[in-house]
Amino acid sequence: MKQLLAVDWGTSSLRGALLDSEGRVLKERSFPRGILTVASGDFATVFEACFAHWIGATGTFCLISGMAGSKQGWLEAPYCACPAGFDEVASQLAWVKAGRIAIVPGLSCEHEGIPDVMRGEETQVLGALQLLGLQDGLLILPGTHSKWVSVRGGRIEDFSTRMTGEFYALLRQHSLLARSMPDTDGEVDWAAFDEGVALALRGAGLLQTAFSVRTLSLFGRMAAARLPSYLSGLVIGEEIRARDLPGGTKVVLIGAELLTERYERALQQRQAVVQRLGAEATWRGLWTLAQTIHPSWDA
Amino acid sequence: MKQLLAVDWGTSSLRGALLDSEGRVLKERSFPRGILTVASGDFATVFEACFAHWIGATGTFCLISGMAGSKQGWLEAPYCACPAGFDEVASQLAWVKAGRIAIVPGLSCEHEGIPDVMRGEETQVLGALQLLGLQDGLLILPGTHSKWVSVRGGRIEDFSTRMTGEFYALLRQHSLLARSMPDTDGEVDWAAFDEGVALALRGAGLLQTAFSVRTLSLFGRMAAARLPSYLSGLVIGEEIRARDLPGGTKVVLIGAELLTERYERALQQRQAVVQRLGAEATWRGLWTLAQTIHPSWDA
């Protein structure tokens, strides 16, 4: 197998890594060119501007995961229904350029008539299973729209989305609560964060607990600089509250360290046992997928 | 007792009613002059521009409830601690003009170290108790920040705030979900609203259920025009979900008809028995308070 150009093209960023035949990262770069910044006909141009010099003359194979496969992306890749593992995902690639550039499909599932979807996280999860040698487990991918993913027998059996990051941003920037807080978040205040998590886990629900940001400020019980961390704890705690997690539950967290650090801390209040992974899960997922489809591209 | 000028001066609107000695409404007017539109030194000017011709030469007594008593209002009125009834509230008026114009204090309470506050709703609740001849009960005042109020022995014993209306506005206007919906809400689609309530009551939590607005749209399962009603059902349903309500629970709803109608409908899914009141609760509350303090102003 030759080199692989692994690309994670999301809503707000574009990241790429050049991997060798063993899956080792040779180079890694990130660009502020998420799909929201790219006009509908310009994906090929942006892609080439960012990565043409890595592909070179040898025709390096490229595999892309994330929102680049959505309706607003480069080429729509269908959702692959759960349960799905490497084989199901690899068999439904959307080919931008036959044998050279392919986009990984997202996944869909359904609960009581309500569909759910992901794009990009399936690749991170499949990579994490490889890195950790797991076949079964619960994985959480924190973010604007967090994903809780159940894996069984090496395949993604089920998942659900929680709009945690987006709720935080809405409350932080656009709500009445924003008036009590400084304009920018400082360092995380872990004690305030823990207080927020603890209140959320008591179960009154975010519609109610969020108002405490205002009243704690109004009565001078918490300094303004601490309130963003407290609100973050409230929102992340609410995400965890809604799911029954018996003590000792093993959870794999995948994402940016700044986020997985908060989730690990919050999950400790539920006595969960946490492992954390970052971008390496994405690269390993794309590399393993490339292996799976090897016959069709390395000819 | 002479005439009373009863005023409800809130964040976004200013409403007044002239009441006769029996508490009957003689005139009623509303102005788009909520406290957010009034500069800090201008409250007296705005008040006179709106109501001077009602007060006239006779020196009609004026009682004001709502955010006019907040730090950002005309004159700060202290919070009165729960439990509190007419006597406690009447004894803590903030006098703008001795014997002539007074502002009703808000209420505060506390749960496990977290304070809660209201301004204006205490007057509506006390008025509702008078109108309905109630001493005990559960009252809900829907709004930007909904209040759930427990009354015992004619006094407000406890209450809690839920940021339901504000969450709806944030999700409707500023979230990713807004892109799936038309720019303006049309008529309420009651079937869509009921579906939202039903999903919320199943208990996954709003962080998760809100995402269904996007996926139902993505998979063409619900028309865009129906989604605002569905989202409204999700958010109001979430408010109700978080509170244990045994079937047959009696609930008094106080507020604008457009809102109490939705809450009544949502509460029916929990088999609550609902009574609804509007502005008459405010006027009756202010009139009864004026009666309570009669000796000090009708001299």
On whether any CB of chain A is under 8 Å from the CB of B116, the answer is yes
Residues 6+ apart with CB under 8 A from B31: B13, B14, B15, B50
Matching residue, tokens 């720019």? B183
List A residues 2-21 in contact with B (Cβ-Cβ < 8 A): none
Asked if residues A131 and A121 have their Cβ atoms less than 8 Å apart, the reply is no
* Single-letter residue type at A10: G
Which of B100, B105, B103 is CA-nearest to residue B2? Answer: B100
> pLDDT tens, B266-288?
999 999 999 999 999 999 999 99
Which of the four pLDDT bands, split at 50, 70 and 90, describes residue B55? Answer: confident
The mean of the pLDDT values for chain A is: 94
Query: Residue A242 and residue B208: Cβ atoms within 8 Å?
Result: yes
Residue B113 has pLDDT above 60, yes or no: yes
Distance between CA atoms of B77 and B266, rounded to whole angstroms?
35
What order of strands is seen across the sheet that includes strand A146-152? Answer: A155-162, A146-152, A137-141, A250-254, A273-277
* Single-letter residue type at A157: E
On whether any CB of chain A is under 8 Å from the CB of B170, the answer is yes
Which of A248, A280, A275 is CA-nearest to residue A264? Answer: A275
Average pLDDT over residues B55-82: 91
From start to end of chain A, where are the E strands? 4-9, 14-19, 25-31, 61-65, 80-81, 94-97, 101-103, 107-111, 114-118, 137-141, 146-152, 155-162, 250-254, 273-277
Give the pLDDT score at B60. Answer: 86
Residues 6+ apart with CB under 8 A from B44: B74, B96
> pLDDT tens, A99-129?
899 999 999 999 999 999 999 999 999 999 9
Q: For residue B115, what are the β-bridge partners?
A: B110
Give the pLDDT score at A58. Answer: 66
Distance between CA atoms of B63 and B231, rounded to whole angstroms?
38
Tokens of residue A102, six digits: 């392919």
Residue B244 has pLDDT above 90, yes or no: no
User: Which backbone phi and psi does B293 adopt, to 5 degrees?
Assistant: -95, 10
Query: Which tops the pLDDT comparison, B256 or B58?
Result: B256
* Single-letter residue type at A148: W
Residues 6+ apart with CB under 8 A from A219: B115
Tokens of residue B298, six digits: 């009708």
Give the pLDDT score at A210. Answer: 98
The pLDDT > 70 percentage for chain B reads 97
Which of A146, A65, A132, A71 is CA-nearest to residue A102? Answer: A65
Q: First and final CA of chain A: distance in angstroms?
A: 10
On whether any CB of chain A is under 8 Å from the CB of B205, the answer is yes
CA nearest to B243 within chain A: A204
Residue B296 has pLDDT above 50, yes or no: no
Which of the four pLDDT bands, split at 50, 70 and 90, describes residue A299? Answer: very low
CA B54 remoteness from chain centre: 25
Give the pLDDT score at A296. Answer: 45
Chosen for mutation from A207, A209, A216, A230 (greatest number of chain B CBs closer than 10 Å) is A207
Tokens of residue A280, six digits: 């390496």
Distance between CA atoms of A87 and A154, rounded to whole angstroms?
11
> pLDDT tens, A142-195?
999 999 999 999 999 999 999 999 999 999 999 999 999 999 998 999 999 999
Matching residue, tokens 């080429």? A75
The CA distance from B157 to the nearest CA of chain A, in Å, is 18
Of A115, A164, A207, the CB nearest to B242: A207
Instruction: Kindly report whether the global pTM for this prediction surpasses the value 0.90.
Output: yes
Average pLDDT over residues A28-57: 92
Of A115, A145, A218, the CB nearest to B219: A115
Q: Which residues of A touch B171 (CB under 8 A)?
A: 170
Give the pLDDT score at B2. Answer: 79
On whether any CB of chain A is under 8 Å from the CB of B218, the answer is yes
On whether any CB of chain B is under 8 Å from the CB of A202, the answer is yes
CB atoms within 10 A of CB A113: 10
Distance between CA atoms of A222 and A213, rounded to whole angstroms?
9
Residues 6+ apart with CB under 8 A from A41: none
Query: Residue A171 and residue B170: Cβ atoms within 8 Å?
Result: yes
CA nearest to A204 within chain B: B242
Distance between CA atoms of B114 and A199, rounded to whole angstroms?
9
Chosen for mutation from A208, A213, A222, A238 (greatest number of chain B CBs closer than 10 Å) is A208
The mean of the pLDDT values for chain B is: 94
Query: Which tops the pLDDT comparison, A58 or B107?
Result: B107
The CA distance from B43 to the nearest CA of chain A, in Å, is 22
> pLDDT tens, B169-206?
999 999 999 999 999 998 999 999 999 999 999 999 99
Distance between CA atoms of B23 and B34, rounded to whole angstroms?
25
Which of A135, A105, A130 is CA-nearest to residue A119? Answer: A105
